[in-house]
Amino acid sequence: MRKSDDFSEWYNEVVEQNELTDKRYPIKGMNVWPYYGWKTWLLIGSIVRREFDLRGHQEVYFPLLIPEDQFQKEKEHIKGFDAQVFWVTRAGDNELDIPLLLRPTSETAMYPIFSVWIRSHADLPLRIYQIVNTFRYETKQTRAFIRVREIQFIEGHTCHASYEEAESQIREDLEIMKNIAEELCLPYKVIRRTEWDKFPGALYTYGVDTMLPDGRALQIASIHQYRTNFSIPYNIYFEEEDGSRKPVHQTTYGMSERMLGAVVAIHGDDTGLIIPPSVSPVQVLVVPVPVKGEAERITGEARKIYDAVSSLGFRTRFDDRDIRPGNKYYYWERRGVPLRLEIGKREIDEGFVTAVRRDSRAKIRIDITDLQKGIGDILHDIASSLLRRAEESASRMEFDADRPEGIREGYNRMSWCGREECGKNIEERSGGSLLGTPVGESGKKGKCVICGEETDGIAIVARTM
């Protein structure tokens, strides 16, 4: 299946054929993670951990089940999630007095505990995160990593003494996003969601969107300013130095396995996956290329090179299966391994390895005494060209539109006065979603495409995944 012929079919094929996911589990939207996919997700998680830990956020774990009465405290939040909740109502022979729900997200699991943890200004800021599964009953067509019912989720939660401190946390979140996206070689846009599309209960929401090759936007992360919308109903107050009691200001940061979906969708090609070096379970593949009569010597020497590369800290695999080298190349190319080292008679006799890049298929000679720098430089270059390629194709999918009808595949930028009535009209007439207004981009003066009012407000409209 060619990616350009049918992106959607191509996506379903590459994720299943290359052991990222196994959809044969008998619950729709709850897939098995085979080793290769799970390891890739864990590596994405380790980048997120590094970014959070570096800034003093602490990793925690809260229970999966939330009592119904605890969930019910913030009205907007309940309205937003009610239709998506999985319930546990029985245990053994007993009907439960208070039904329990599987976390769709963990605000309502955490906040009653925050109200106990936080006493005074000395307990602030509180900055924690967890990497867990969450559950949402999706009714739309499911798709691996992109729309599932059991979601691998990363959620950061913070509490602050003031609105300004919470705002500065959100600026830091954007910095974290920048670093993570760079490691995943993903271009993205930060878009302030509309009032009718923000996170249930939030003051405002920033969506982080990336553009898929079929011209549809995919939200890969979101950042929320709650102000005191949750701390008041959940009674999360702190005592100021002057003895007064105040509700904390809160933010959250959510990311999910959709980041892996975006990596697959954006970097892959007709052959299969291309995984960025930073999250590839195998960064370097070593393949012996034996010749008649010297098979044993060549495989032995190749194994020594594998040991050397592995001990340099690269995630390395030695493929000495009894199949033709060409079949091995194809097998690992489909799985997106960024770099392959071919080691045959000539390489051994002359003391070099032949490195083949997955992204460009270019062959590069690396001297055996220069493996660390040689491999490191190429992996680095692969990452930058993946990012460059992805940025170029995303920028080809950005358009200015002067009316809502006939939007193109990609981001469509149009003047919008900001009123809900006009926004809903834009969605209706375009058939796309109004993602919101871009953050950090100033708009040109124009006329709202619906009401004609002079405005410098901008709407980004796109079809979504």
User: Where on the chain is the footprint of Zn ion (CB under 5 A)?
Assistant: 417, 422, 448, 450-451
Closest to 438 in 3D by CA, of 463, 412, 404, 407: 412
Phi/psi of residue 229, nearest 5 degrees: -65, -30
Q: Residue 77: CA atoms inside 13 Å, Cβ hemisphere, count?
A: 23
Nearest approach, Cβ of residue 130 and Zn ion (Å): 41
Gap between the Cα atoms of 271 and 329, Å rounded = 11
Nearest approach, Cβ of residue 424 and Zn ion (Å): 11
Q: Nearer to Zn ion by C-beta: 269 or 453?
A: 453
Q: Nearer to Zn ion by C-beta: 348 or 422?
A: 422
DSSP H or E segment with residue 102: strand 94-102
Q: Nearer to Zn ion by C-beta: 282 or 422?
A: 422
Q: Nearer to Zn ion by C-beta: 85 or 407?
A: 407
Nearest approach, Cβ of residue 416 and Zn ion (Å): 6
Q: Nearer to Zn ion by C-beta: 282 or 426?
A: 426
Query: What crossing angle do the helices spanning 163-183 and 35-54 adopt, rounded to 10°?
Result: 140
Report, in angstroms and rounded to the nearest whole number, the Rg of the chain calculated over CA atoms.
25
Nearest approach, Cβ of residue 429 and Zn ion (Å): 12
Q: If you search the block for the tokens 């969506």, which residue do you land on? A: 207
Nearest approach, Cβ of residue 417 and Zn ion (Å): 3
CA dihedral of residues 390, 391, 395, 396 (deg, nearest 10): -30
Instruction: List beta partners, residue 65.
Output: 102
Q: With left for phi above 0 and alpha for psi between -120 and 50, is residue 2 left, alpha or beta?
A: beta
Gap between the Cα atoms of 422 and 461, Å rounded = 13
Nearest approach, Cβ of residue 415 and Zn ion (Å): 8
Closest to 208 in 3D by CA, of 198, 187, 222: 222
Nearest approach, Cβ of residue 451 and Zn ion (Å): 3
Phi/psi of residue 446, nearest 5 degrees: -155, -170
Nearest approach, Cβ of residue 421 and Zn ion (Å): 7
Nearest approach, Cβ of residue 414 and Zn ion (Å): 11
Q: Nearer to Zn ion by C-beta: 338 or 404?
A: 404
Query: What crossing angle do the helices spanning 258-267 and 35-54 adopt, rounded to 10°?
Result: 110
What 3 state SS string does 72-113 have?
Answer: CCCHHHHHHHHHHCCEEEEECCEEEEEEEEECCCCHHHHHHH
Residues whose CB falls within 8 Å of the CB of residue 322, separated by 6 or more in sequence, listed in order: none
Nearest approach, Cβ of residue 84 and Zn ion (Å): 32
Q: Nearer to Zn ion by C-beta: 285 or 450?
A: 450
For residue 448, count other CB atoms closer than 10 A to its CB: 21
Gap between the Cα atoms of 101 and 86, Å rounded = 6
Phi/psi of residue 390, nearest 5 degrees: -65, -40
Q: Nearer to Zn ion by C-beta: 164 or 195?
A: 195
Phi/psi of residue 464, nearest 5 degrees: -120, 160
Q: Nearer to Zn ion by C-beta: 390 or 417?
A: 417
Determine the residue type at 126.
Answer: L
Q: Nearer to Zn ion by C-beta: 357 or 413?
A: 413
